[in-house]
Amino acid sequence: MRYLIYGNDLYNQEIINKLTEIGFVYDVENPELIISVGGDGTMLNAVRNNLFRIDQVKFLGINTGKLGFYTEFLPSEIDKMVEFLKNKDYRECHFNLLEYTLINDQEQYTSYALNEIAITNPIHTQIIDVYINDIHFETFRGTGFLISTPSGSTAYNKSLQGSVVHPEVKSFQLTEIASINNRVFKTISSPLVLPKYHFVSLVSKNYENIFIVADGEREHLENIHTIKVTLSQKVAIFLTKKEDDFWIRVKKAFIE
């Protein structure tokens, strides 16, 4: 198998030496497997920087960070990882990506995110008309929105009191950030979990000073008036242990 190592290079030579022994080939140009060495942020970057070949690669994580929600092994377990790969003792988990399109009067730009896209205005109250499947749902006033995948529901979304959603539930979640609610202005004030094939359009006459951040990376497109988001059919494929369980990961991350 051809592979590439992404992230912390402290363990690169050890990984390369041990994978060479089982016939794996280090290949920067055309890898089949991307091994991310770092934390969840490193893995998000690995996925984002390989979106152009997302259909041809799989991902595996070694955790040198803190939480490690997307990782399978510690640096002390490199030998176990090698055996895991040699014996194909894994299952493939398919995580659907978010698809988002930024639109202005001249062009539109489409990209993808594994965890989330955050749309926030730190300068002034943002007014956004929210459409679900082209039907007007609400007029929002506040800081902005977070839109997340099930696999990303335990990240920023959870800190906003959003729902934790199992990745096998093919959906995406729209969560308000600091909405203004009073007798004059009203919003749903609750996270919305939408099924696949539904789409959300966030329309504003003034997106000036807006921050659009997808998996930690800011997008830059001027004079935007519409942001469309849906659950993509594209997936990031992760190699995980056969005994892996999403709820055990959640428990270890937040309760134990």
Q: How far is CA 227 from CA 22, 72, 110, 145, 201, in A?
A: 47, 34, 10, 11, 6
- Residue among 196, 98, 74 nearest 151 (CA): 98
- CB-count burial class (<10 Å; 0-12, 13-18, 19+) for 56: exposed
Assess whether 55 carries a catalytic annotation.
no
Phi, psi dihedrals of residue 49, rounded to the nearest 5°: -75, -5
Structure tokens at 202: 């966030």
- Residue among 36, 46, 30 nearest 11 (CA): 36
Check residue 73 and report its DSSP letter.
B
Q: Which of 40, 55, 79, 245 is catalytic?
A: 40
Residues labelled catalytic: 40
